[in-house]
Structure 1
Amino acid sequence: MCLGIPGEIVEVVDADEHLASVEVSGVRRVISTRLLADEHVGVGDWVLVHVGFAMSKIDEHEADVTLDQIRKLGRTYDEELEAFMETEIV
């Protein structure tokens, strides 16, 4: 199963290339924010991440609720986190 997982932008790595570092459950990865270029996401913003791309901007409350629900899926959450750890855009 592939899920979008909430991540917090902790660093803008390359603004021209729309690359940012996000943190999900203590794991940091560089992702593309190009799909959200019109929304001007930055440090402290929460985004829904899927296969290395920020798909939508969400607020912190929505991120917390979504992460809580995903964690309740157990193994599915673990698999999604493992996939996140293995995916990085460079």
Structure 2
Amino acid sequence: MCLGIPGQIVAVADSEAMLCVVDVSGVRRTVDVVCVAEPGAPLDDLVGAWVLVHVGFAMSRIDEEEAAATLKVLSEIGEAAVEMEALTQGSVELLSTPR
């Protein structure tokens, strides 16, 4: 099954490569945002946006309410743990989060 898990774009990692940092329940990853970026608009406009992330790509934009509801449902059915594990073990570099 292919799932997209909600995350919030928190920073631009590389504008030229169309990469942003997304926070998914405390895990920060660099993901490709080519599918959700507005043509001609700066990537900084995406900071704060909620997106569905799948295998290193932000696939679509969603609102914060939908993100919260989706995370709740995924947690209830146990899928969030599987997707979070995939995020932490995927091929895209895991970014350290300052605490």
Equivalent-residue separation in structure 2 for 1:61 and 1:69 (angstroms): 12
Q: Which structure carries more helix by proportion?
A: 1
Equivalent-residue separation in structure 1 for 2:83 and 2:63 (angstroms): 21
Off by >6 Å, runs of 4+ in structure 1: none
- The structure having more radius of gyration, on CA atoms, is 2
- CA shift for structure 1 position 20: 0.4
5+ long unaligned stretches in structure 1: none
**RMSD, aligned α-carbons:** 1.8
Normalising by structure 2, we get a TM-score of 0.81
5+ long unaligned stretches in structure 2: 95-99
State the aligned residue count: 89
**Corresponding residue for residue 7 of structure 2:** 7
**Corresponding residue for residue 83 of structure 2:** 80
- CA shift for structure 1 position 36: 1.6
8 A contact 1:32–1:89 mirrored in 2: no
Identity of aligned residues (%): 49
SS in 1 for 2:35: helix
**Corresponding residue for residue 26 of structure 2:** 26
